[in-house]
Amino acid sequence: MKTLDEIMPVLQQLLTLVEQHFGNKCEVVLHDLTKDYNHTIVDIRNGDITHRSIGGCGSNLGLEVLRGTVLDGDRFNYVTTTQDGKILRSSSIYLKNDQGDVIGSICVNLDITETLQFEGYLRQFNQFDNFTSNDEEIFAPDVNNLLSHLIQMGQEQIGKPALEMNKNEKIEFIRFLDQKGAFLITKSGEQICELLGISKFTFYNYLEISRSQSDSSDSDQT
């Protein structure tokens, strides 16, 4: 390929595809960068977004590519702002001839101004920023699944599988489950004994130690 004219029907078909897929909030621009930079736009759809039309000019990023300051000018999903305050999510690719020279570009500018405003409203409405991970709630189909979730959380808290835990880690693991109310579940203690590879005697000993440590910690804070 030597010029854009050789593949112009395909390029225009591509612009139509993007325009029809994303609708009137999406500007699609085809630049012929062999022309004077003040008049590079040879096709544009929904140009009212940036107030440009055929015969208009490119952006500063195109100048950097033509100057050779930027060798690979393709950029995807970057954010720009128009002079009238629109916020755009943009992507640009550059087209080269057979000699590897840049001769054109296709730019997509999606106006996300209204969706960002709506996103802000939804976050405020949902009070999402007020949520904390400490309030994580588990909805399980039965208590066995619930216990499994708590066990998984405990292992993540310790940072290793139950069978690899040393004595102090097992005590901390049991303390975590105890504070989460896991031992209110019938026969949960037996499952934890099997999981940790300890006897019932050892389990109750560890449980007593963990509770005494918790009581001591509470006393130190008061």
**pLDDT score at 48:** 95
Q: Is 137 found in the same domain as 68?
A: no
Task: Select from 104, 73, 107, 113 the least CA-distant residue to 90.
Answer: 107
Domain final position from 63, 94, 118: 118
Q: What is the pLDDT of residues 119-172, one digit of tens each?
A: 888 888 887 666 555 556 667 778 888 899 899 989 989 998 888 999 999 999
Within a domain: residue 221? no
Q: Which residue type sits at 90? A: S
pLDDT tens digits, 30-71 = 999 999 988 999 999 999 999 999 999 888 888 888 888 777
Domain, as residue range, for 186: 132-215
Same domain for 160 and 194, yes or no, is yes
Q: If you average pLDDT over residues 76-83, what whole number do you get?
A: 89
143 and 81 within one domain: no
- Which of 48, 116, 51 shows the shortest CA–CA distance to 79? 116
Percent of the chain with pLDDT over 70: 91
Same domain, 85 and 151: no
pLDDT recorded at residue 45: 97
Domain membership of residue 33 (yes or no) is yes
* High-pLDDT (> 90) share of the chain, %: 64
* pLDDT of res. 55: 95
Residue where a domain terminates, one of 118, 147, 165: 118
Residue identified by tokens 């389990």 is 203
Look at residue 123 and tell me if it is in a domain.
no
SS3 state at 154 = helix
* DSSP secondary structure letter of residue 72: -
User: Is 48 a member of any domain?
Assistant: yes
Against a cut of 0.75, is the pTM above it? no
Query: Going by C-beta distance under 8 Å and a sequence separation of 6 or more, which residues neighbour residue 38?
Result: 57
Tell me what pLDDT residue 137 has: 62
Q: 127 or 175, which is more confident?
A: 175
**Band (102; pLDDT cuts 50, 70, 90):** very high
pLDDT of 18 strictly over 70: yes
Domain co-membership, 8 together with 69? yes
- Domain shared by 164 and 95, yes or no: no
Residue 52 DSSP SS3: coil
- Select from 79, 94, 118 the last residue of a domain: 118
Query: Based on the domain organization, do 105 and 155 belong to the same domain?
Result: no
**Per-residue confidence at 190, pLDDT binned at 50, 70, 90?**
very high
CATH code for the domain of 55:
3.30.450.20
Q: So what's the pLDDT on residue 133?
A: 52
Is residue 219 scored above 70 in pLDDT?
no
